[in-house]
Amino acid sequence: MRAEVAKVRYLPMPRWTAAALAAITLVVGVVLVILEPSDPTRYISVPGTAVSVSAWVATLIFGVWLSTLDFASGTMQRTLTAEPRRTHVLSSKLVVTLVIAAIAGLAAAAAAGGLSHLAARQAGVDLDSGDLAATLFGQVPEAILASAIGFGFGLLSRSVGGGIALGIVFILVFDGFISYIPGLEHFTYGALTQDLSNGITGTGETHNGLVVALLGSIAWCALIIAPGWIRYLRSDLK
Amino acid sequence: MFDGMSTPGADTPPIEFDGLVKRFGRRTVLNGLSFTVPAGTVVGLLGPNGAGKSTAMRVLLGLQRPTDGHARILGHDAGSPGFRDVTRKVGTIIESPPLYKNASALQNLRIRAASIDVSMRDEDLKEILNRVGLAERADDQTGSFSLGMRQRAGIALALVGDPSIVVLDEPTNGLDPEGTVEVRDLVRSLPERGATTLLCTHRLAEVEATCDYVVLLQGGHLITQGSLADVIASASKGGVTVDVAPEQLADALRLIGRLGVGEPKIEDGSITTPMTPEDPSVITRALASEGIYLRGLQTRRATLEEAFLELTHRAETTEAVEA
């Protein structure tokens, strides 16, 4: 675990991703301060969408990056000589990925919420703090799951570009196809993660209960992670 | 095994290959490879391209799985209980230095230290960089390094945690002559620090300068192993140069041809033989018995390069005949 934490700490990519996420959050907050919309829902929906999309993209990329790092940089030998138990290597990477994604999602939600609140107060708009918090923090589970999806596709493709491309195609295209299969429309990855967020925050319409949504989302992640994981454990590595 | 060699204080050899077989599909890369690396020595692993050197190292370190046989570090096969503890005592570079190019040399060493659960102060890590001549570039990204500097940084990585076993694959690749000498001295100093070193290289001069023992592979087989002097002596190269009076040259040539030192030739007025007799005085005595006055006799020691070429050629010929 220490090794993966050290990589996150000393390598620049996580810092740049965090900086981009922080910049997007800040820009949205500044835009709200400048435009001063009179509709209170804007102070919730705009940062909500921004955090949702940016955290999703950032954590997906981070998941791909950490799972492909040793393949891309030719450092597999140093990772596996330090920890030859491959299951431990992957478990450590996955845990670090999920924890970092959770921290990033929470930090982005907290920062966006704070800025939105500030902007609303400056504009003299009365804001429902509960709604704002539910909307923003409701994105965190999706961010965590996106990191797992990125991790899985990264492990499968063993390349950053391939992992990101597969992740985006899965979410934006493949998931859509599944929704056309009769009986599965409420069990797509998108539907289940949406239900999970809504279930946690108690907002929006849900088709599945919280437990089903949670287990279903985890099942999707496991399905995506498993092939690359098995390949990593069984194959010769350089 | 290296006959007659002892490993004081250690029954378990640091590195041991025992009947190791590795196949990729139908292609056999290692075919029953067996040898041991004695503790506290620098052993050169030699062989032509495709001999299986890097594959042997990868199997040893658990990166690739053996098809059959064993590759052990301190008595542990990859995947066996305790293997994790022993690999942490191993510093490696296989083929190219495993560096994170977007991180500085110092950060690379910090990550390595964290990976093997070793707490090291930056001063200690900088001291390692100093040993490989990179102290002044400690904070520069390794992606900006020249090939030689990356090689040095890779060696620095291998030295983090004071490893008891160091496995180096072509450590002087890309180094200038000065850097080569520095790395050579560094490798030479490893046994003094208690480290056993397996050095894989194509540079035979480097092996002659740094290694105590040599293991020669070809086609996944072990061709020969032993001390540097023994391996060189096992090759038929070498020979003697004999100077006699010009009018006795033909008689001397005929006589020497009967002494089992190969087909003698006349070169620049001297007789040369392709092989050196066990006891060169047989030539002296034979010539004296025929009344041939010996003006001079020089034995020529084969170089490792000659021995390498001779031994690999001999193995190729044997394989071809067997096939």
Decide if B101 and A73 are in contact by the 8 Å CB cutoff.
Answer: yes
The DSSP line for A172-192 is IIIHHHHHTSTTTTTSSHHHH
In chain B, what residues touch A75 (CB-CB under 8 Å)? Answer: 98-100
pLDDT value for A99: 96
pLDDT at B147: 84
Strand order of the β-sheet with B165-169 is B90-93, B165-169, B196-200, B42-46, B213-218, B221-227
A72 to chain B nearest CA, in Å? 10
User: Is the pLDDT reported for residue B10 higher than 60?
Assistant: no
- With a CB cutoff of 8 Å and minimum separation 6, the contacts of B209 are B184, B188
Of A2, A3, A84, the CB nearest to B83: A84
Q: Looking at the predicted structure, is the pLDDT value of residue B4 above 60?
A: no
CB pair distance less than 8 Å for A84 and B84: yes
Higher pLDDT, B319 or B141: B141
Q: Which of A16, A80, A81 to mutate to test the interface with B (most CBs of B within 10 A)?
A: A81
Residue B48 has pLDDT above 70, yes or no: yes
Residues of chain B with pLDDT > 90, as a percent, come to 28
Q: Angle at Cα A19 formed by Cα A13 and Cα A24, nearest 5°?
A: 130
Nearest CA in chain A to B22: A236
Distance (Å) from the C-alpha of residue A202 to the closest C-alpha of chain B? 42
ipTM, two decimals, is 0.85
Question: What are the strands, taking DSSP E only, across B47-103?
Answer: 68-73, 76-77, 90-93
Average pLDDT over residues A114-118: 88
Chain B contact set for A3 (CB, 8 A): 111, 114-115
Q: Which chain A residues have a beta carbon less than 8 Å from that of B87?
A: 81-82, 84
Q: What are phi and psi of A193, to 5 degrees?
A: -70, -35
3-state secondary structure of B186: helix
Chain center to CA of A78: 28
User: Does B96 contact chain A (CB < 8 Å)?
Assistant: yes
Whether the pLDDT of residue A70 is over 50: the answer is: yes
The residue that leads in pLDDT, A63 or B95, is A63
Which of A80-84, A218-222, B195-199 has the lowest average pLDDT?
A80-84
Query: In chain A, which residues have their Cβ closer than 8 Å to the Cβ of B92?
Result: 77-78, 81
Q: How far is B139 from chain A (nearest CA, A)?
A: 12
The answer, for B67 touching chain A at a CB cutoff of 8 Å, is no
- Comparing B140 with A202, which gets the higher pLDDT? B140
Task: Give the chain B residue whose CA is nearest to the CA of A73.
Answer: B100
Which has the higher per-residue pLDDT, A1 or A168? A168
pLDDT tens digits, B268-292: 888 988 777 778 788 889 999 989 9
**Nearest C-alpha in B relative to A3:** B115
- At residue B234, the pLDDT reads 73
Could you count the other beta carbons within 10 Å of the beta carbon of residue A58? 26
pLDDT, mean of residues B195-204:
88
* pLDDT score, position B237: 58
Average pLDDT, chain B: 85
DSSP state of B190: G
Instruction: State the count of interchain CB pairs (< 8 A) between A and B.
Output: 82
- pLDDT(B99) > 90: yes
Report the alpha-carbon distance of residue A165 to residue A224 in Å, rounded. Answer: 14
pLDDT of residue B236: 58
Q: Between the CA of residue B65 and those of A20, A182, B56, B82, what are the distances in Å?
A: 41, 45, 10, 17
Of A203-212, B129-138, B180-189, highest mean pLDDT: B129-138
Nearest CA in chain B to A72: B100
pLDDT at B311 over 80: no
Of the listed ranges A193-197, A234-238, B55-59, B230-234, the least confidently predicted one is: B230-234
- Amino acid B87: pLDDT: 85
Can you give the pLDDT at residue B323?
65
**Strand order across the beta sheet in which B270-272 lies:** B265-267, B270-272, B240-244, B294-299
Query: Is B117 in the A-facing interface, judged by CB distances under 8 Å?
Result: yes
Average pLDDT over residues A63-87: 91
Q: Looking at the predicted structure, is the pLDDT value of residue B9 above 50?
A: no
Q: Is A1 exposed, middle or buried (0-12, 13-18, 19+ CB in 10 A)?
A: middle
Q: Do A237 and B63 lie within an 8 Å CB cutoff?
A: yes
pLDDT of residue B258: 87
**Chain A contact for B151 (CB, 8 A cutoff):** no
Instruction: Work out the mean pLDDT of chain A and round it to a whole number.
Output: 90
Residues of A in contact with B52 (CB under 8 A): none
For range B171-192, the mean pLDDT: 83
